[in-house]
Amino acid sequence: MHQLLNELEEQKVGSIKANEPLSNHTTIKIGGPADLFVEPASIEDLKRTLKQIKKYNVPWRTIGRGSNLLVSDKGIKGVVIKLGKGLDEFKVHDTEVVVGAGHSLIVLSTVLSRRGLKGLEFAGGIPGSLGGAVYMNAGAHGSEISNILTKALVLFLDGSMEWLSKEDLEFSYRTSILQKSRPGIVIGAQLQLENEEKKDIIKKMQGFKDYRRETQPWNLPCAGSIFRNPLPDYAGKLVEKAGLKGYKIGGAQISEMHGNFIVNTGNAKADDVFALIKYVKNTIYDLYQINLETEVEIIDSK
């Protein structure tokens, strides 16, 4: 690992840190160290990073803004690549937008709304990145990223890169083919939006933000929705119906505002959250014979 670190530093691929706590890079502020943490400054730097990783046969994975991520207290073995600055450019041509994977969804939706482009208003309160949104088909308020995406640039594990169409990505509820049979990294995407009066878009987006502020606990560190909705039921409603809102294990607590959120009250460990997830799943199954599946990505690799 030391030799890999030296070679990456020599090639100046971006920001490189050893034993970097992942708690610094997840919205729930939980997670042990990554052996090596790299934030490439460009797509070319990303390619060079992957080439060196392959040379030393080191395990690796990517993260975005850490909003849908729960990392073990033991951390992550190998290299963690953060897609952020350097992969966050975007270009607008009429109603078509090409944007890098590292771009903030909140910032992007705000900028596009001020340009009179509608379609991304639902993402105005999602604290994730464009790449993560495509990977998991993120959505809210009755819409999702697949509704406006036309294609995505994907880097596959063998180093090849390919534009995949919306159909190729096989989107469904909170998932895509990238989580299943064709694992890869979203590098960028092309979105197709529509023209609309700025004031109408901004008003709609503000309504969504107000709703989130009133119903979701973003005042405390959290990872977003923990469970997928077992449609036609809703995970948060089931948790509330079971009387679990406010239930606490260690420093992790089911939010008193929304049953599908677990918050870090200040000193939570990943094991506290794991135990709370297990408790909720068992309780909901015992009461309603419904198997809840996690929406948050759980990493426990060391």
113 has catalytic annotation = no
Q: Which of 119, 128, 141 has its CA nearest to residue 63?
A: 128
SS3 state at 21:
strand
Distance CA 76, CA 155 (A): 21
Catalytic residue among 61, 115, 174, 212: 174
295 has catalytic annotation = yes
SS3 state at 12:
coil
Catalytic residue among 104, 146, 225, 255: 225
Q: Which of 302, 300, 271, 299 has its CA nearest to residue 63?
A: 299
SS3 state at 86:
coil
The DSSP element (H or E) to which 201 belongs, if any, is helix 198-215
Q: CA torsion sign, 57 to 135 to 283 to 264?
A: positive
114 has catalytic annotation = no
Report the Cα–Cα distance between both ends of the chain, in Å, rounded.
15
DSSP-assigned letters across all residues of 263-294: EE-SS--HHHHHHHHHHHHHHHHHHH-----B
Phi, psi of 162 (to 5 degrees): -150, 140
- Which residues are catalytic, by number? 174, 225, 295
